[in-house]
């Protein structure tokens, strides 16, 4: 233990104490990390709604339409709307030693593949066999609140990403980041996200 001393000789701190505490909490977070939710009987599709790279957007649309045509219930995670989905995708693809390239499909928690693989499986009939245990949707309807996107503008900051609260201790106004929404000023839709 090495103490940090002031000019007067008083103890001002302990060397490496903060970094040791941070390392401890980082290790605890890794040990008690919540694993992904069991996905038995579920389809999760990671997509993007950004049209910057047209081919990626078109592949995402193709995969979405294939699953809609099969009338199965699936969860679409749009990484353009929430960066947490992107981090989750990176982690899941690292666990199966795959480089993430959108769209990515997981069925029952197992990596299935991208657009090309889904298209081939659909044309050969393999996909139909995989989808027998997945919940069916008779009349798919879009959520009346969010239109099927799963996100709405933040109700606290109205999408500005700045908190409406001010510091009551001073007369100055300091813009604070809104804690109710994500980095895009969006919140999960309460009607359809459950």
In 27-54, which positions are buried (b, 16+ CB within 10 angstroms) versus exposed (e)?
eeeeeeeeeeeeeeebbbbbbbeeeeee
DSSP tag of 139: S
Fold classified for 43-133: Glutaredoxin (3.40.30)
What is d(CA 78, CA 88) in angstroms, rounded to the nearest whole number? 11
Say if residue 27's pLDDT is above 90: no
pTM for the full model?
0.70
pLDDT tens-place string over residues 118-137:
999 999 999 999 999 898 88
pLDDT value of position 179: 87
For the chain, the farthest-separated pair of C-alpha atoms sits apart, in whole angstroms, at: 81
| Closest residue by Cα to residue 80 from 105, 52, 59 | 52
pLDDT value of position 8: 80
pLDDT tens-place string over residues 135-155:
888 776 788 888 888 889 999
Contacts by 95-103, CB closer than 8 A, 24 or more apart: 100/46, 102/46, 102/47, 102/48, 102/56, 102/59, 102/60, 103/45, 103/46, 103/47, 103/48, 103/59, 103/60, 103/63, 103/64
Residues in a beta bridge with 47:
78
Report residue 77: phi and psi, to 5°: -110, 105
Domain boundaries, the chain: 1-33, 43-133, 149-194
DSSP tag of 149: S
pLDDT value of position 154: 92
Q: What 3 state SS string does 9-44 have?
A: CCEEEECCHHHHHHHHHHHHHHHCCCCCCCCCCCEE
């Amino acid at each position: 233990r090495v103490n940090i001393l002031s000019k007067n000789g008083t103890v001002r701190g302990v060397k490496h104490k903060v970094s040791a505490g941070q390392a401890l909490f980082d290790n605890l977070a890794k040990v008690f990390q919540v694993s992904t939710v069991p996905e038995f009987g579920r389809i999760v599709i990671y997509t993007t709604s950004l049209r910057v790279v047209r081919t990626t957007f078109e592949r995402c649309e193709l995969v979405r339409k294939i699953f809609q045509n099969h009338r199965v219930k699936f969860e679409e995670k749009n990484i353009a709307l929430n960066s947490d989905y992107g981090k989750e995708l990176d982690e899941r693809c690292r666990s199966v030693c795959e480089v993430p390239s959108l769209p990515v499909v997981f069925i029952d928690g197992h990596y299935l593949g991208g657009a090309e693989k889904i298209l081939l499986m659909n044309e050969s009939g393999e996909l139909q066999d995989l989808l027998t245990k997945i919940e069916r949707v008779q009349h798919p309807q879009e959520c009346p609140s969010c239109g099927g996107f799963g996100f709405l503008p933040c109700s606290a900051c109205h999408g500005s990403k700045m908190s409406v609260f001010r510091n009551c201790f001073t007369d100055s106004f300091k813009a604070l980041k809104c804690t109710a929404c994500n980095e895009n000023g969006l919140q999960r839709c309460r009607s359809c996200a459950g």
